[in-house]
Amino acid sequence: MKNIIKILVDIIMTVLFFVLLAYSFTGRTMHEYLGFVIFAFFILHHILNLNWCKNLFKGKYNLTRSFNTFINFMLFICMLGLIISGILFNRDIVEFFNLSSIKVLNKKVHVTCSYWGFIFMSAHLGMHWGIFINISKKLINIKKQICITIALLIAIYGIVSFIKRDLHNVMFLFTRLPDYEETAIFFFMDHIAIMGLFIFITYYLCRLSVKLNKTNKVLQQ
C-alpha cells in the first residue's frame, strides 16, 4: 500500500511540475497556488521516503546507488532553490525586506532551478522506470521491440524539442527563456518528449550500471 501511495505522489508531483512550467498558460495566481501544493507534496514525498534518508550514510555505494543518490540530491537542491526563490517573489516579503534589487537575479534562479529540477525529476523517474514497465506489462501486452521503438522515437523528438527551446543555454543562464506564442498542446508535447528523453537516458544508464556491478562482482570472486 505504501509503495502505491509513493507512486501516486510521484505522479501528482510530475503533473504539477508540468503545469507549473506552463506559467504563460496558468498565470501568476494559479502558479503560486500550485507552488504551495507541490511544496506540500515535496514534504510528503520525503516523509514517505524517510527510511532512504536514514540509510543514506549506511552500507556500500556501488555505481547504481551513487548515481541514484546524486540525482536525488540534485533534485532536492533544485526544489529548495524553487521554494526559496518562489517565496522571494511574494510582494509583501519583497517590500518588507526591501529586496526589489534582487528581482531579476531571483527570476533567473527560479527559471534555472525549474528546468534543472525538471531534468532531474525526469532522471528520478528514469531510475524507477522499471516499476512502470512491469505494471504496463501486466495491463497491456506489448512486444518489447515495439516499446523500445516508441521510447526511441520519443527520445529523438525530445532532443529536437530540447534544442528548439534552447534549454541548454537557459539552464546555464546564457540566454533568457524564449518567449513566443504557442498552443498548450505543443508546449506539453515538447516537454513530455523532453521528459521522455531523460527517462530513456537514465533508465538505460541504470541498466548498464547494474550490468557493470554484476561484472565487477564476478571478477572479484
Structural domain boundaries in the chain: 2-220
> Kind and range of the H or E element at 6?
helix 2-21
Asked whether the predicted pLDDT for residue 81 surpasses 90, the reply is yes
Per-residue model confidence as pLDDT tens digits over 192-220? 999 999 999 999 998 888 787 777 766 66
What single letter denotes the amino acid at residue 87?
A: I
Q: Closest Cα to residue 6, out of 36, 43, 48? A: 48
Of 195, 152, 203, nearest in space to 11 by CA: 195
pLDDT of residue 220: 67
Q: How confident is the model at residue 154 (pLDDT cuts 50, 70, 90)?
A: very high
Global confidence as pTM: 0.88
Give the pLDDT confidence score for residue 98 in this predicted structure. Answer: 72
Residue 155 above 90 pLDDT?
Answer: yes
Which of 15, 10, 16, 21 is closest to 112 using CA atoms? 21
Residues 131-145: b if buried by 16+ CB within 10 A, e if exposed: eeeeeeeeeeeeeee
Is 39 buried (19+), middle (13-18) or exposed (0-12) by CB count in 10 A? middle
Instruction: Locate 128 and state its grid cell.
Output: 524507477
- Inform me whether the pLDDT recorded for 95 exceeds 80: no
Say yes or no to pLDDT of 82 above 80: yes
What whole-number distance in Å separates Cα of residue 152 and Cα of residue 27?
Answer: 34
- 157 vs 2: which has the higher pLDDT: 157
Instruction: Output the pLDDT for position 24.
Output: 86
Residue 26 grid coordinates: 496558468
| pLDDT at res. 210 | 79
Q: Between 1 and 54, name the one with better pLDDT.
A: 54
Three-class secondary structure of residue 62 per DSSP:
coil
Reply yes or no on whether the pLDDT at 135 is more than 70.
yes
Q: Give me the pLDDT at residue 178, please.
A: 73
Q: Give the 3-state DSSP-derived string for 154-209, with helices as H, strands as E and coil as C.
A: HHHHHHHHHHHCCHHHHCCCCCCCCCCCCCHHHHHHHHHHHHHHHHHHHHHHHHHH
Task: Provide the mean pLDDT of the chain.
Answer: 86
pLDDT, average across residues 101-120:
89
* Lookup: cell for 22: 506552463
